[in-house]
Amino acid sequence: MNINKWKNHPLFTGTIILTVTGLASRVIGFLYRIFLSHTIGAAGLGIYQLVFPILALCLALCTGGIQTAISKFTAEYDGLTPLGCGICICMVLSGGCTFVLYRYAPWLAEHIVSEPSCAPLLRIISFSLPFACLHACFNGYYYGKNKTAIPALSQLFEQVVRVFSVYLFYLIQKEKATAMTPALAMWGTVCGEAAAALFCITTFQFRHIRLSLPVTKRLICFAAPLTGSRVILNLFSSAEAILIPSALTAFGYNRNDALSVFGTLTGMAMPVIMLPTVLTGSLSVLLLPAISEAAVKDDRRQIAQTIRHTVELCVILGLGCTLAFILFGHFVGSFLFGSELAGSYIVSLGFMCPFLFLAGTLGSILHGLDMTFYTFLLNMLGCGIRLFAIYVLVPQFGLYVYLWSMLLSQIVQAAAYLWILVRSAA
């Protein structure tokens, strides 16, 4: 890739901005996970992590398609109409989800999450939904404009406020000689989302926002299938997370040990693996409007070049990360988390880095080309592979079978994305 050719391109500069701030945010979040692992323990971390699949499902329903639609139509329209229409839609949806989540938290905790102690956490996290939706709408607008400073800073601000608030709660509990709880950590998430939304509000001129029924209809028509696919995918992903502790119990663990293993995987090992995705994630959110604009102009040469450069970057970065995790994974798990099991998981998960990076960025390119149905089908296939492993194989052979199913699903998705794009560009 010729860096001199790309260095003045908005896609390149935007990726750099998002990468720098995103890396800072990820590092803070990474240190935050270490802090939580030492204050609420692996079992507490497991209970804390069990709530987020429900939150992710609600966010998929409220913003999954709308944020992408705002980003896409902002690149096509002049003015702020798509943003205003998107905010109205998201606020209605988030209000309904907040009510349902708060009202039926005990039922959801007992019958869906299979962990009654999650009920207070579900009620707490429900308050973050309107703020998270508002934040997502503003991010979609700025990504569509290739202006990444506000989303990047708001992301960093959210993380800082979250960590600071939880640390403040910890100091208060320490002063009272009482233990830190997952519920207090969940309040930190609410504080972070509220801070990010307020940050975006204070940097925006709302008097320029206009509403339009035709634009609202276009947003809904574009977002509806994407939202539907993301809700279905999040249902499958939520089932993954919720079924893992039960599968581990069937394998032979008691409930507390199963939650501890689940917390070690999702709260310790996975944040380490996902840390390098800050670069490819930044690239992904900016690829959509750039590819969408090239598609409108029918600039096949630009699309082909973008695909080639994206593959080069993801393969090089992925192989480097895989090597690093193989060499230092055990040390990271033992030194940072005091867990040899976390180190073992990091080494095993490190093999999927090249395919994880490719699947994320190539999927964003397909969205920009209005080929979202393919991403839906392939994401469903990946979830199906992992669910099969959890439901059938983990009770017989343990959690490592699930880790290798994650690798297989990423290989299948990355290869299929690349094949579809090569065929479409031919």
Tell me: pLDDT of 90 over 60: yes
Number of folded domains that form the chain: 1
The whole-number pLDDT of residue 145 equals 78
Cβ proximity of 36 and 300 under 8 Å: no
Q: How many CB atoms lie within 10 A of CB 242?
A: 18
Structure-derived torsion over alpha carbons of residues 164, 168, 170, 173, reported in degrees to the nearest 10: -170
- The percentage of residues in the chain with a pLDDT greater than 90, rounded to a whole number, is 36
Mean pLDDT of 127-144: 90
Q: What is the pLDDT of residues 53-70, one digit of tens each?
A: 899 899 988 987 888 888
Structure-model confidence comparison of residues 228 and 210, the more confident one:
228
Q: How far apart are CA 319 and CA 235, in angstroms?
A: 31
- Quote the mean pLDDT of the chain: 85
pLDDT tens column, 149-181: 788 888 889 999 999 999 999 999 988 888 899
Sign of the C-alpha dihedral, residues 120, 123, 127, 133? positive
The parent domain of residue 341 ranges over 3-425
* Cβ–Cβ < 8 Å for 259, 249: no
Q: Which pTM was predicted?
A: 0.73
Tens-digit pLDDT profile for residues 219-231: 888 888 778 877 8
Q: 104 CB contacts (<8 Å, ≥6 apart)?
A: none
State the pLDDT at residue 200. 86
- The whole-number average pLDDT for the span 184-196 is 94
8 Å CB contact between 310 and 362 = yes
